Amino acid sequence: MYIDSWVLDAVREQDRPEGRNDYVIAVAASSVVYNSMLAIINAHVMPLSFSHVAAAEILILLAGLFFILGKGMSRDDIGISCFMAFTLVIAFYMSAINRIVFVDYLRNILIVFCFATLGSWANRRTVKAAFMVSLAVVMAVLLCEIFSLPLYADIFEPGYYFETTRGLKPPEWDTTGLFGNALGFEGRLSFGLIGHRASSLFLEQVSLSNFAGVMMMYTLYFWDELRRGMRFLLIACIALILLTTASRTMLTFSAICFVGYFVFPLLPKLLSLLTMPLILFAGAMVYLFKPDARGDNLSGRIVLTMRHISEMDIYGFLGFYADKAALFADSGYVYIVYAGTIFGMLGFWLFVSLYPAGRTPAQRRLAQALPIFMFFNLMIGATPVFTAKIAGLMWLLLGHARHEAMPRVGSQSVSVGSAVSRQA
């Protein structure tokens, strides 16, 4: 069997605790930038379609899985492997009862599996480098967007990219070339720094704001060991993203993280199991007292999700409406149930709540922040927290944090690399 020498070198390099793994950094960073690279090709080389986007994401996942196969699987991977296998069974079930090949939810969990497992093998230097490279590129493009919007639009042509790859046509009156949802509207929260909602290399504002949320979790986890200059840089970058995207969800999450830095280490890790039920209960209370709430505001989005949940029937809970899943991109809980059944939703809740480690204060901060980020986001959206451009870095961090106190030094199972050595 032929395996690229770079992959094998990366596997061997990671066995040295002090070594920074450039291969893992490249895979993680590519999950952040691939959309913008495709947009440049779409704008200046050739028109692309959704199949090109899917192919690029598949290549990134294959690159990550190739590294994982080179390392091999061990007892440390039983939990996440069982979750992956459970999701695979659901995918077969969904495809059978809907009489179509339906792997949308499987793809979402495959991203989780791939990057969390990559993170479990990545040391601190590797994880920090992956985040800093990604942040540097995001901020460079964001500054270009802020100070020279025509240049940004000319390079990426976001509106045209989403039209050719997603079928989302820009408004006829728009002449900026931006993605329509980034334009904002009268009454929408805005801090007035720029005339639209920033998108940077994600090309749409929701992913950029969620990237800020992932950077908050990174900052929360590494804060105690960061130098003063790096702390200031991270806070400044996160603040600039929040001010230019005007994301109410991430502004709320940032306030929770500030308080959580002090409070989360005092909480038992299992308390994270209550996060989703409490968020759903709060959503039900909003729905009860403001049933007529409408519009693109927090109460309107929450009421929309709760209304969709209340309208679901037994067939929806059992996965018979897979074709409707894509219609609920702004109602995450409904999306997961339609795409993966109520059992998939319960499995996802348990995994998100129990997978993070909780031995050290830093781990407990991350273990409490993750469910809040995930389940609060699902109340007002769905797809952004599952896409590789956001989920990649987040689960890389979670996988690393889980094995922080018990670093891996090798695999107890047969890896691709060892198999090649024996054949040689």
Q: Which residues contact 139 (CB under 8 A, 6 or more apart)?
A: 200, 237, 240
Structure pTM?
0.89
pLDDT at 180: 66
CA 198 – CA 195 distance, rounded (Å):
9
DSSP string, 115-135: HHHHHHH--HHHHHHHHHHHH
The answer to whether 396 and 116 have CB atoms below 8 angstroms apart is yes
pLDDT at 267: 94
Structure-token pair, residue 325: 């899943």
pLDDT at 174: 67
Of 348, 349, 327, 330, give the one whose Cα is nearest residue 338: 327
Q: Where are the alpha helices (DSSP H) in 45-157?
A: 50-71, 78-98, 104-121, 124-147, 149-156
**Reduced to 3 states, what is the DSSP secondary structure of residue 170?**
coil
Q: Which residues contact 248 (CB under 8 A, 6 or more apart)?
A: 189, 297, 298
Q: Which residues contact 344 (CB under 8 A, 6 or more apart)?
A: 87, 90, 105, 319, 336, 337
DSSP string, 374-398: HHHHHHH-SGGGTSHHHHHHHHHHH
Structure-token pair, residue 411: 């695999």
Burial class (CB in 10 A: 0-12, 13-18, 19+), 315: exposed
Longest dimension (CA), the chain: 70
pLDDT at 422: 32
Q: How many CB atoms lie within 10 A of CB 160?
A: 18
Q: In Å, how far from its chain's centre is CA 203?
A: 15
pLDDT at 416: 36
Helix (H) or strand (E) holding 217: helix 205-222
Tell me the pLDDT of the chain (424 aa) as tens digits: 444 444 444 444 444 445 789 999 999 999 999 999 999 999 999 999 999 999 999 999 999 999 999 888 778 889 999 999 999 999 999 999 999 999 889 999 999 999 999 999 999 999 999 999 999 999 999 999 999 999 999 999 998 998 899 887 776 656 677 876 776 544 444 555 787 889 999 998 889 999 999 999 999 999 999 999 999 999 999 999 999 988 888 999 999 999 999 999 999 989 999 999 999 999 999 999 888 888 777 788 899 999 999 999 999 999 999 999 888 877 889 999 999 999 999 999 999 999 999 999 999 999 999 999 999 999 987 677 888 999 999 999 999 999 875 556 544 443 333 333 333 3
pLDDT at 171: 67
pLDDT at 249: 87
Structure-token pair, residue 119: 């993170």
pLDDT at 328: 86
pLDDT at 382: 67
Q: Which residues contact 190 (CB under 8 A, 6 or more apart)?
A: 184, 197, 246
pLDDT at 351: 97
pLDDT at 183: 67
What is the identity of the amino acid at 183? L
Cα-based angle 266, 269, 275 (whole degrees, multiple of 5): 100
**Reduced to 3 states, what is the DSSP secondary structure of residue 172?**
coil
Structure-token pair, residue 236: 């400044």
